[in-house]
Chain A
């Protein structure tokens, strides 16, 4: 409130006005809204609390008033940040050659284009195609391809180890393995063109998978028999969640090698592959419940 009313009242006094000024209207007293303090409440055991021990899904997280508890929100935001960071990461220049891979690239020119144009990520750039024809070993049983996919973080962190373990597991089964290649800005279907060019019986692409909450380090592997452009997802077998809290890489390498061997033996892949015949080797047994990684102290 300004002092204008008092100023004019003083002026009125000075000018000697005869009639008394009207009384001022008192300001109303506005009571402050009551402060409500909400205490965090964990859900009572209702079954879902027990279920929460077996999953990283957000079960039985309780509430504060009508909202999530602060630590739940912060944990969610931190996990989302991990996922965002993994998607935004890129394989460093020269990394592939330094780690013993033949460096290849899809037709994508930039990371943004990679996210927006899946079709370009499924075909090799002309110079990469030439390099593959010039330098890659011909007609292997299994062609292993490492790729960045949607998480370059996972590709760089655990890709080389998984590829090496997979190559060793294949050779142990008497399968020949082609020149290890690493493709930049690659989508799953790029394995069709690479596998066809080298004349592999089975192509395996190991790539960083679309990050979920808090899992930026997951790898997926897709296998296809008789790779050539035009193969569909129905022709592929895949394994996801290859990371320490999911399927550990050494165990995954054994199963992938068993799958590749089964494909060559049966001459097919995807829905045509009879998994019952290799059930003992590729079926997943009991896996202990995953532990949610705390990124924020409660």
Chain B
């Protein structure tokens, strides 16, 4: 069904209340500040990146590790692997619980891919983050609390969509990642030229989604 939300599936969700320091170091945590870990795999990498960022807004957690797996969840290494492993770290297990609760709620009700051709043959992620958390704001080099459009689609659709999004509103590209990425999608992070301009981010995301649907319906033009 066209533009239907495809709700991500949490494939595994585990806690380590007191992780070994060697493990903490290997996964990018700081053994002097972090004790507990929360680990999650999901079948949608970009939805989980957004959900991890959401967790930093609700609990004293740091996203220490988040990596997409090659070729995406259709080619996963196991039925629990999906296409991403995300790790949050905190000084105490309760913060991990609070962070995971926010993360799971975000995956269930907010961040998701959408069906772009009515058959799930083409999917896209035209997500607008109202206020960036600690994780994505650092990755994007933007102040926390800024709005940002997080746009993902397959190579051709994304390229046409990025162009449409950048022209549709007064936004600028924070980051443009041409294909291939680990999952062979392309990705763009856009934010308003004026700080805090959520409406422009939403207009850009809508234009992106419309362009992707258009490419899916008309792959060739003269």
Contact = CB atoms under 8 A, between A and B. Distances in A.
Decide if A and B are genuine partners. Answer: yes
A3 B213 CA distance: 19
A255 to B, nearest CB: 51
Interface stretch (A6-14, A150-158, A268-276): A6-14
B128 A4 contact: yes
B126 A4 contact: yes
Contacts of B213: 11, 15
Contact of A19 (B1, B109, B110, B210): B1
Contacts of B128: 2-4, 7
Contact of A11 (B7, B105, B209): B209
B5 A11 contact: no
B37 interface: no
B17 to A, nearest CB: 20
B97 to A, nearest CB: 12
Nearest to B213: A15
Question: Which interface class (under 10, 10 to 19, 20 to 34, 35 or more) fits B?
Answer: 20 to 34
B188 interface: no
B205 A22 contact: no
A16 to B, nearest CB: 10
A58 interface: no
B108 interface: yes
A23 to B, nearest CB: 11
Interface string A1-41: 11111011111100101010110010100000000000000
Given A2-B128, A2-B129, A3-B130, A11 B206 contact: yes
Interface string B117-138: 0000000001111100000000
Interface in A39-90: none
B13 interface: no
B173 to A, nearest CB: 19
B110 A12 contact: no
Given A2-B130, A15-B3, A7 B109 contact: no
A21 B4 contact: yes
A95 B105 CA distance: 68
Contacts of B209: 7-8, 11
B59 to A, nearest CB: 14
A1 B126 CA distance: 15
A22 B115 CA distance: 13
A2 B110 contact: yes
Contacts of B111: 2, 4
B3 A22 contact: no
Interface in B164-222: 202, 205-206, 209-210, 213
Interface string A248-261: 00000000000000
Contact of A25 (B106, B109, B127, B206): B109
B162 interface: no
Contacts of B110: 1-2, 4-5
A12 B210 CA distance: 9
Given A3-B130, A8-B126, A11-B209, A27 B109 contact: yes
A22 B4 CA distance: 8
A2 B205 CA distance: 12
B202 A11 contact: no
Contact of B210 (A1, A9, A15, A27): A15
B210 A7 contact: no
B2 interface: yes
Contacts of B210: 11, 15
Given A15-B210, A15-B213, A5 B5 contact: yes
A4 B2 CA distance: 15
A1 B106 contact: yes
26 contacts: A1-B109, A2-B110, A2-B127, A2-B130, A4-B110, A4-B111, A5-B5, A5-B110, A7-B205, A7-B206, A7-B209, A8-B114, A8-B126, A8-B206, A8-B209, A9-B3, A10-B206, A11-B3, A12-B3, A15-B2, A15-B3, A15-B210, A17-B1, A21-B1, A21-B3, A25-B108
Interface of B: 1-5, 7, 105-106, 108-112, 114, 126-130, 202, 205-206, 209-210, 213
Given A3-B130, A21-B4, A25-B108, 13 more contacts: A1-B106, A2-B110, A2-B129, A2-B130, A5-B5, A7-B128, A7-B206, A8-B3, A8-B5, A8-B209, A11-B209, A17-B3, A27-B109
- Which 4 A-B pairs have CB atoms at the shortest separation, nearest pair first? A12-B3, A17-B2, A1-B110, A2-B130
